[in-house]
């Protein structure tokens, strides 16, 4: 029970990797704030965590909007107590050639994937438990290290998150807040369904050093470690959870 009674807010926790870390943390005693633009999935995840004996609250909000993120953090602090951590996981995934990127798509991706990280950090600072160590965990990606064709908007966002994580590790460390990022690699989720076929995932597995794709559980366990007191001196890290993709190229 590494997170017993600790309120932890997760953006985009209605499905995929956000749901995965919500399950892991709830099983280890955290009070989980399941926030998502999709209220139905957020409520379903929170309900299933509560049914399993955990503690969770659901919030529907567009977390790319500053005021909405603040409103959620305020409501969660009221429901669960001052925050111990925020997990900036929300994102919108689109892969497409550079000339196809529309203003509408770029605005949506930047808002959900990058602006929400700024608002998540600010809302956490406004509603955190000042008497305890704080934790911010950002979701980057192996694409932050590589120039993969047709991922312009997504890679820009994930590389931005990698940079912001380092900045905040230095800026917020003196206030007792650890800021880290993870880079999950090749994990089938609802987001990737439209862009990577099962056959392509099989092909990918053959080139990943550990010879398989990842699972939400792989990501959740490593993410939980970074949030735990076992990682008390880890600040500004980018942890690859990718079976060796970044290392091997």
Ligand X SMILES: NC(=O)c1ccc[n+]([C@@H]2O[C@H](COP(=O)([O-])OP(=O)(O)OC[C@H]3O[C@@H](n4cnc5c(N)ncnc54)[C@H](O)[C@@H]3O)[C@@H](O)[C@H]2O)c1
Task: Please tell me whether residue 161 adopts helix, strand or coil conformation.
Answer: helix
Q: How far apart, in Å, are the Cα atoms of 17 and each of 20, 128, 223, 243?
A: 5, 23, 10, 16
109 binds ligand X (CB under 6 A): no
Catalytic residue chosen out of the listed positions 59, 95, 139, 154? 154
15 binds ligand X (CB under 6 A): yes
Q: Give the gyration radius of the chain's Cα atoms.
A: 17
Q: What is the Cα–Cα distance from 237 to 221, expressed in whole angstroms?
A: 16
Q: What is the Cα–Cα distance from 110 to 102, expressed in whole angstroms?
A: 12
Q: What is the Cα–Cα distance from 209 to 215, expressed in whole angstroms?
A: 15
165 binds ligand X (CB under 6 A): no
Q: Total residues at the site for ligand X (CB under 6 A)?
A: 30
59 classed as catalytic:
no
Q: Which of 3, 6, 10, 18 binds ligand X (CB under 6 A)?
A: 18
Which residues in the 35-74 window bind ligand X by CB under 6 A?
36-38, 41, 62-64
Query: Which residue in 179, 171, 145 sits closest to 159, CA to CA?
Result: 145
Nearer to ligand X, 53 or 198 (CB): 198
Q: Which of 6, 186, 220, 245 binds ligand X (CB under 6 A)?
A: 186
Q: Which residues bind ligand X (CB under 6 A)?
A: 11-12, 14-18, 36-38, 41, 62-64, 89-93, 112, 116, 139, 141, 184, 186-187, 189-192
């Amino acid at each position: 029970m590494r997170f017993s009674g600790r309120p932890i807010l997760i953006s985009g926790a209605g499905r995929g990797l956000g749901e995965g870390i919500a399950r892991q943390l709830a099983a280890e005693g955290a009070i989980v704030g399941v926030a998502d633009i999709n209220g139905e999935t957020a409520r379903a995840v929170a309900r299933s965590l509560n049914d399993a004996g955990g503690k969770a609250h659901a919030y529907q909000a567009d977390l790319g909007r500053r005021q909405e993120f603040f409103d959620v953090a305020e409501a969660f602090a009221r429901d669960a107590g001052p925050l111990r951590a925020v997990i900036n996981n929300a994102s919108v995934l689109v892969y497409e050639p550079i000339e196809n990127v529309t203003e509408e798509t770029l605005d949506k991706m930047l808002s959900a994937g990058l602006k929400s990280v700024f608002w998540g950090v600010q809302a956490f600072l406004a509603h955190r438990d000042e008497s305890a160590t704080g934790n911010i965990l950002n979701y980057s990606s192996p694409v932050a290290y590589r120039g993969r064709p047709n991922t312009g908007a997504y890679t820009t966002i994930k590389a931005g998150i990698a940079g912001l994580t380092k900045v905040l590790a230095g800026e917020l460390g003196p206030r007792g807040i650890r800021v880290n990022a993870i880079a999950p690699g090749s994990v089938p989720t609802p987001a990737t369904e439209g862009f990577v076929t099962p056959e392509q995932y099989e092909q990918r597995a053959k080139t990943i050093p550990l010879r398989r794709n990842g699972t939400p559980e792989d990501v959740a366990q490593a993410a939980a470690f970074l949030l735990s007191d076992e990682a008390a001196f880890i600040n500004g890290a980018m942890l690859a959870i990718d079976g060796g993709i970044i290392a091997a190229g």
